[in-house]
Amino acid sequence: MRAAGQRSSWVAGFSSFGLGALLSVSLAPLHILLSLPLALAGLGMLTLWARSPLQAAAIGWLAGLGYFSFALSWIVEPFQIDAERYAWMAPFALVFLAAGLALFWACGFGLAVRWSPDSGQRSLSSGRQEGRQDGRRLVMLLAFWSLAELARAYLFTGFPWAGFGQFWIDTPAAQLLPWVGGQGLSMLTLAVTLPLSLVRRRPLLAVAPVLAVALTGYALPRLPEPGMTSNLVRLVQPNAPQAEKWLPERRWDFVRQAIELSETGGNQLAQNAEPFALATKFEPDLIIWPETSVPQLLNNADETLFAISERVAGVPVLLGIQRREAGRYYNSAVLVEAQGRVDQIYDKSHLVPFGEYVPFGDLMARFGIYGFAAQSGAGYSAGSGALLMDLGIGKALPLICYEAVFARDVNAAPSRPDMLIQITNDAWFGTRSGPYQHLVQARMRAAEQGLPLLRAANTGITAMIDPYGRLRETIALGQAGVIDAFLPQALAATIYSRTGDYPLFFFCLVLVLGAMKQRRKSAERS
């Protein structure tokens, strides 16, 4: 009997890892949504099989390990930039990151079984009672798994990459983002798919949520075209490979290329130019360059910025550059006006751990450990937080690189902007899944806020994104190019922009408290 139990535990462990890995193919760039009901229903069944919180925690951890190992496989790419020095670290980084994030799932699964109302009484139950107990356990899994994903997005600086809401960006379900946000859409994903675990006992109950969603999807109205402003924006993608970007003999080549692209613009107005397509306006109101597109400190860049401004005839340029102040270094976005005058500065405030800074950096620097992306000093310092930049065409909330991953950073704007702007250097993410998943999350921020998002990426994917999160214009990965596009109008403030994730948190809390009350009643009856 003990041997049979051990075999079943091994089967459950391998199944958990495999189902987690299967779930990851629902993310960009594959978006194979058929894996969703198979993987999530399978994990629900394994949770119902678990006879203790410890078994459930093991199932959750192994599932998370499988999911994050494949979903975040792009994390090995930064270690290939200087492969001779860092390539050996890549597998360790991926395994430790996946294993650490999987701990959130382990807590969620373990607590779901621990606080199920009828936990510990399943062996004494009839078939009908066990069916009810299965349903209650799945409700707890829904609540605690959603809370685990919330915790992953907020705790220890947060890392919400590969959230379940990202599966739906190109489906009608994305219309829910202005209402519930990405975390809410993740919970709805679980609410629809976990009941499929009950298909053996209650087929109608299991399939009902899927049918309801399918009917809702067909019933959703087609989104109208957003209004367009008369402001023309030029987005520049110089395509500087990370291995060459900072080489003394190459770095100015990419600056010259960015200047040339900024001068010439597109061959014709973008498709979203209507109703202005008949106008003869080809001079942009704003030019946007990517993150760290000028390879020197702002403190020493007066001549460079003057030359850029002269070549673009004084058109304002928003660009990425590093700067030093009071012995600290910042990853910044600056607005360069006529004659190279720096009018406004935003310093990145949500830094990448071990990328732009190292925890206990002063101590780690003594051992030669620095952030990968930091070109000066032991790492970057964080800016003072979200702020709005007045760009002449409206007020923008600037986001540098992976700040666009965090919905809470966008909600932290001091007032509602007219647009979002992301400057990024996705060359760090390689060419496989990373850049595509990063773009999906930028699109989600636009849809959640009902704001257009202007995205300039060094190697791609540069994009004009409308306030529904749809791609209006793009430059493909690994190409140099430019987009000339009229700025879409912002929509009215969304529900999510006002509430954030608080309703989801309190809803999960209500489910948990209700289960605790039910568990206490069950204990009293027994």
> Are the CB atoms for 54 and 203 separated by under 8 Å?
no
Q: Is the pLDDT of residue 373 over 50?
A: no
Q: What would the mean pLDDT of 127-140 be, rounded to a whole number?
A: 77
Query: Mean pLDDT lowest for which of 103-107, 371-375, 395-399?
Result: 371-375
Average pLDDT, the chain: 87
Residue 414 pLDDT exceeds 80: yes
Task: Note the Cα 433 to chain centre separation in Å.
Answer: 12
- Highest-confidence range of 2-11, 161-170, 516-525, by mean pLDDT? 161-170
Phi, psi of 77 (to 5 degrees): -60, -45
In angstroms, how far apart are the furthest CA atoms of the chain?
Answer: 82
Of 57, 58, 70, nearest in space to 18 by CA: 70
Q: Say what the pLDDT of residue 206 is.
A: 55
The pLDDT of residue 336 is above 80? yes
Residue of 522 and 76 predicted with greater confidence: 76
Q: What is the pLDDT of residue 371?
A: 47
Return the minimum-mean-pLDDT range out of 211-225, 255-269, 377-391: 211-225
Compare 223 and 47 and report the one with higher pLDDT: 47
Residue 325: its H or E element: strand 317-325
Is-contact 282 308, C-beta < 8 A? no
Per-residue confidence (pLDDT) for residue 375, from 0 to 100: 45
Residue 11 CB coordination number (10 Å): 11
Q: What is the dihedral of CA 285, 254, 400, 367, to 10 degrees?
A: -160
> What tens digit of pLDDT does each residue of 400-411 get?
999 999 999 999
Q: Residues 14-27: pLDDT tens digits?
A: 999 999 999 999 99
Evaluate whether 311 touches 287 at the Cβ level (below 8 Å).
Answer: no
| Burial classification of residue 122, based on how many CB atoms lie within 10 Å of its CB (0-12 exposed, 13-18 middle, 19 or more buried) | middle
pLDDT at 126: 46
The tokens of 230 are what?
């008369």
Is the pLDDT higher at 378 or at 514? 514
Give the pLDDT confidence score for residue 477 in this predicted structure. Answer: 96
How confident is the model over 99-131, as pLDDT tens digits? 999 999 999 999 999 988 666 555 444 445 566
pLDDT of residue 200: 66
Q: Which residue has the higher pLDDT, 523 or 377?
A: 523
| Contact by Cβ (8 Å): 393, 231 | yes
Q: Look at 63 and 384; give whichever has higher pLDDT.
A: 63
User: Rounded to whole angstroms, how far apart are CA atoms 130 and 170?
Assistant: 38
Task: Choose between 264 and 109: higher pLDDT.
Answer: 109
| Neighbour tally for 379: CB within 10 Å | 27
The residues carrying an active-site annotation are 291, 348, 401
The pLDDT of residue 409 is: 93
Summarize pLDDT for 301-332 with one digit per residue, the tens.
Answer: 999 999 999 999 999 999 999 999 998 999 99
| Percentage above 70 pLDDT, the chain | 83
Q: How would you class 315 by CB atoms within 10 Å of its CB: exposed for 0-12, middle for 13-18, buried for 19 or more?
A: buried
User: What does pTM read for this prediction?
Assistant: 0.90
- Measured CA to CA, the distance from residue 350 to residue 337 in angstroms comes to 26
Closest by CA to 151, choosing from 183, 128, 198, is 183
- pLDDT, residue 312, reads 94
Residue 352 has pLDDT above 60, yes or no: yes
Q: Residue 105: is it exposed, middle or buried by C-beta count within 10 angstroms (0-12/13-18/19+)?
A: buried
395, pLDDT greater than 70: yes
Range with the lowest mean pLDDT among 70-79, 374-383, 512-521? 374-383
Span 419-435, average pLDDT = 93
- SS3 of residue 206 by DSSP: helix
Lowest mean pLDDT among 162-166, 180-184, 208-212, 378-382: 208-212
Which residue intervals of 222-377 are DSSP H helices? 242-245, 251-264, 302-311, 361-365
Inter-axis angle of helices 502-525 and 127-154, to 10 degrees? 150
CA-wise closest residue to 124 among 417, 397, 522:
522
Pick from 58, 27, 32: which is nearest to 43 by CA?
A: 58
Report residue 482 CA to chain centroid gap. 24
The CA–CA distances, whole Å, from 497 to 163, 390, 502 equal 19, 20, 11
Check residue 360 and give its pLDDT.
54
pLDDT value at residue 10: 82
Per-residue model confidence as pLDDT tens digits over 147-187: 999 999 999 999 999 999 999 999 999 999 999 999 999 99
Q: How buried is 364 (Cβ within 10 angstroms: 0-12 exposed, 13-18 middle, 19+ buried)? A: middle
Contact 276, 230 (CB under 8 A): yes
CA triplet 426, 351, 429: central angle to 5 degrees?
Answer: 20
Average pLDDT on 484-512 reads: 96
End-to-end distance of the chain based on CA atoms, in angstroms?
A: 29
